[in-house]
Every structure is written in C-alpha cells, then in structure tokens.
C-alpha cells in the first residue's frame, strides 16, 4: 500500500490573528475552556478560509488546521466518561522523573501542568471529533472527502507523562492493561464512527514516543523502578489495540517528532536507531510520518528496518525555520533515504520511491494555537507547503 499522498502535511496550521484575538478576548487561555458562540463563528469562518486556500493551491491532504483546538491533543480524552481534567498538577512532582517536556517547562518557571486522569471506568458515550469532521467535510464535495485527514492524540499521551500510577485511580483500574484496554475500545469506536461518516485518513500524533531514544528519559524510567524497554513494549501493544478491527481502507498513520513548542523550541535530539526495529516491525500502522529536517533527527540508516508494505513520509521541510530549503537538496535527501530502504529490502531505489515514500513538513506549523516557528509567517507557511508539493511533483510526476 503506497501512502495516500506523496506530498503530505502534518495537520496543524498557523491560526489567523483575528481568530487568536477573539479567543484571547473570550478568555480561552487553556485547552479545556468553554467555547462561546462568537468563538465558534470565528472558528468556522477561519476554517472555511483555510480549506479554500488548500483547495486553491492543491495542498493535500485537506485539514481544518486544527483550528478548533488549543493544542494538538485537545478534544479526545476529556470527552470520555470516567476521565477527569486536572488542571494544576505540580511540576515536577506529578510527572515522570526526567520527563523531557516537564524539564523544559520547569526551566521556564512554569509550576503546574494539566492532564486527564481516569477516575472511573472509561466509556465513550459520544464522538470526540465528529463535529470537527462534519465542519470540514461540509466545505468539500463528497468526492474529495478521501483527500482529507484528521489528527488525534496517542493512547499513551497521559500515561507516559504522569508520575507512576497516577494516570488512573483505584478502584477505576488496578493495572495498566485494564486502563489501556478500555481506552483502546474508545479509539476503536471513534475510528469506526468517523469512518462511517466518510473519513478515510487519520494521523496519530505521538511526539513523546521518541523520548525512548534518549538516555535522559530512560534513566528517569529506571529511577522510577521501570524498565524502559518493557514500557516501550507496553506502549506498542496499546497502540496496536487501537487499530484492532479497523476498516481495511481506513488509513491510519503515526507522526513522530522531537517537539514543536512555540518559537521553534524542540525538546530532544537523537536518531531513530534505538527504537527503529521495534517501531517499524511491531507497530501496526500503515505509515510513519518522520521528522528529518535537521541533523537533530540523525541519518536515514534506521529506515533499513522498514518492512515491505509499510510507508515513510519524510519530513524534510522545516516548520521551525522560515528559510526555504533548496529543492535539489531535498530531492537528493529523498533518494538517500530510498537507498537505505532499498538495500535492506532487496528492491530497487526506484521501486521504493514509487511505492513506499512521501514528503512533508517535519511537523505541524502550530501544534499549539499560539505556536509557530521563530520568524515563521502565514505567507511563508504556504510557501513551505507549496515547496513540498513541488518536491513531490519533481520526484513522482
């Protein structure tokens, strides 16, 4: 199965200033604030404009830019029965030892962070993202619904960051497996309902999985009495549970990056090598959207573990820097990546390029509504997306 698009985008787009101003005036300063009618109307108008721009420029897949959300992970966990939002979990005490994101926030003087805790058995009683999908599809002819994509947070998001044993409370759950089984059922039901409503592509955003490549996070696990390799195995199992029973023609891909905080802040550096074999061979995703815009991500050699039949979308265009990449150099990077895969798969470079690769920006342009790379503008964002499109046309047309 080739990737749905050879030219991709990761989902989040910079918010227009008028939308940010209205959200600020309404006092929407965090992920879980209520949405006023004025904000709803402004959001609807902004989505209509950004979708029209994507159609005009031929940018695919089409997304709402995550304009409905304050952060990329907003909107799922807090809609589930049995889950409760805790807004002021103390930093660092409430979180895993040496958790890289928490250390960044602590260095910035931030004292608390939010998370969502299972205080009772988890049940999905309504769709989390149907309203987002409906607001997107109503702007597009039905024959183009297949050209759309929706993003979701990973099943491991809260469990991975919180201090050992605090992502759920007894008597709701006594084991991680019980917790993940109920949470996975919610994902399965969400996938099915969105699929039945016409959605055919979903992207799971899991930047935290790459913490497993760092000595910092792994040493924190050990300090907490956890074997990091066993924890990674547990998370791979949990991810795969979400995909159990999904429709064959529902494409679900996994996006990994090293952080995309406001003003170009990345959280970690390190090659995929440490987890590449497990990631590519044991996770059940169709496609991997991988950050490859700087040396921070390492070289392409970890791609040798990619099995035939799976895809990689190479994030070779940066959302963190406004500088436009050189098209010829990008073409060369794609070929080097294809060579690493071809050697291990016993296929030709041309066949790998044709059937298993795509290109994209390395991340979204605003994983948080106030995000954006240092110096990035709305105009340059569209130029970057057009550069990805031109790169794909150079290689695949």
pTM of the model as a whole: 0.95
What angle do the packed helices 228-243 and 273-282 form, to 10 degrees? Answer: 30
Mean pLDDT across 78-98? 96
Q: Say how far apart CA 396 and CA 158 lie, in whole Å.
A: 39
Q: What is the pLDDT of residue 268?
A: 73
Q: Where are the alpha helices (DSSP H) in 98-175?
A: 100-107, 130-137, 157-161
Taking alpha carbons only, the member of 56, 62, 67 closest to residue 12 is 67
pLDDT of 32 over the 50 cut: no
Architecture of domain 17-396: Alpha-Beta Barrel (3.20)
Mean pLDDT across 1-28? 86
Q: What is the pLDDT of residue 260?
A: 65
Q: What is the pLDDT of residue 298?
A: 85
Q: What is the pLDDT of residue 257?
A: 86
- Residue 141 class from Cβ within 10 Å (0-12 exposed, 13-18 middle, 19+ buried)? exposed
Q: What is the pLDDT of residue 217?
A: 95
Output the furthest CA–CA distance in the chain (Å, rounded): 58
The domain locations on the chain are: 17-396
């Amino acid at each position: 199965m080739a990737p749905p698009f050879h030219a991709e985008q990761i989902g989040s787009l910079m918010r227009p200033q008028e939308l940010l101003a209205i959200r600020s005036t309404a006092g929407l300063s965090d992920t879980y604030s209520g949405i006023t009618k004025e904000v709803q109307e402004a959001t609807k108008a902004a989505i209509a404009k950004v979708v029209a721009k994507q159609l005009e420029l031929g940018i695919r897949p089409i997304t709402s830019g995550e304009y409905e959300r304050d952060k990329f992970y907003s909107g799922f966990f807090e809609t589930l029965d049995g889950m409760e939002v805790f807004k002021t979990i103390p930093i660092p005490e409430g979180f895993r030892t040496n958790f890289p994101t928490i250390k960044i926030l602590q260095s910035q003087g931030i004292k608390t962070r939010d998370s969502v805790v299972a205080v009772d058995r988890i049940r999905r009683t309504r769709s989390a993202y149907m309203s987002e999908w409906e607001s997107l599809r109503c702007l597009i002819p039905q024959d183009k619904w297949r050209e759309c994509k929706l993003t979701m947070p990973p099943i491991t998001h809260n469990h991975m960051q919180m201090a050992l044993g605090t992502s759920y409370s007894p008597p709701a759950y006594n084991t991680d497996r019980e917790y993940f089984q109920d949470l996975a059922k919610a994902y399965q039901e969400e996938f099915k309902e969105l699929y039945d409503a016409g959605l055919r592509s979903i992207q799971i955003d899991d930047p935290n999985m790459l913490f497993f490549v760092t000595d910092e996070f792994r040493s924190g696990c050990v300090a907490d009495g956890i074997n990091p390799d066993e924890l990674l195995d547990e998370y791979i199992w949990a991810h795969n549970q979400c995909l159990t029973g999904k429709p064959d023609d529902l494409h679900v891909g996994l996006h990994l990056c090293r952080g995309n905080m406001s003003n170009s802040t990345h959280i970690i550096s390190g090659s995929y090598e440490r987890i590449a074999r497990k990631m590519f061979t044991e996770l059940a995703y169709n496609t991997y959207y991988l950050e490859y815009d700087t040396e921070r991500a390492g070289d392409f050699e970890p791609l040798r573990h990619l099995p035939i039949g799976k895809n990689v979308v190479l994030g070779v265009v940066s959302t963190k820097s406004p500088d436009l990449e050189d098209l010829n150099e990008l073409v060369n990077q794609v070929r080097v990546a294809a060579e690493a895969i071809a050697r291990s798969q016993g296929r030709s470079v041309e066949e790998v390029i044709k059937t298993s690769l795509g290109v994209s920006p390395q991340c979204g342009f605003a994983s948080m509504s106030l995000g954006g790379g240092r110096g990035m503008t709305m105009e340059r964002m569209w130029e970057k997306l057009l550069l990805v499109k031109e790169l794909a046309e150079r290689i695949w047309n």
